[in-house]
Amino acid sequence: MKKHGNRVIPVNPNEDEVLGERAYDTVDQIPEEVDIVSVFLRPEKTPKIAEDAVRAGAKVLWLQQGITNSEARRIAQEGGLGYIDDDCIYHNVNESLQKG
């Protein structure tokens, strides 16, 4: 994602820095605009992430391949976010870039 010019801001309470970027404990702590919250966590953890994404003013909550959660979907959609689940963001971005 980064090599295609996308800014990736890590959220991981166990890390201070990831891939040269400061890591935050939660999405809503990021001090700048958030477009997409891409989630690589177990489904039961996603409702809390959805709540954080809504508070952060994100545009989309994206649950990676194999991850779905109806409560996270409800929270995201009621909060005005786009919602995608069970899909790989990397493959979608790569495919879009290759099409030009």
Out of 1.10.10.60, 1.10.530.10, 2.40.128.690, 3.40.50.720, the CATH code matching 2-99 is 3.40.50.720
Instruction: Answer whether residue 88 shows pLDDT above 60.
Output: yes
Instruction: Answer whether residue 31 shows pLDDT above 90.
Output: yes
* Mean pLDDT for the stretch of residues 15-37: 93
User: pLDDT of 43-86, one tens digit each?
Assistant: 999 999 999 999 999 999 999 999 999 999 999 999 999 999 99
Strands (E), 19-92: 21-22, 36-39, 60-63, 82-84
Output phi, psi for 61, to 5 deg: -105, 120
Residue 10 near residue 21, CB atoms below 8 Å: yes
Sketch the domain layout of the chain as residue ranges: 2-99
Most confident of 1-10, 32-41, 73-82: 73-82
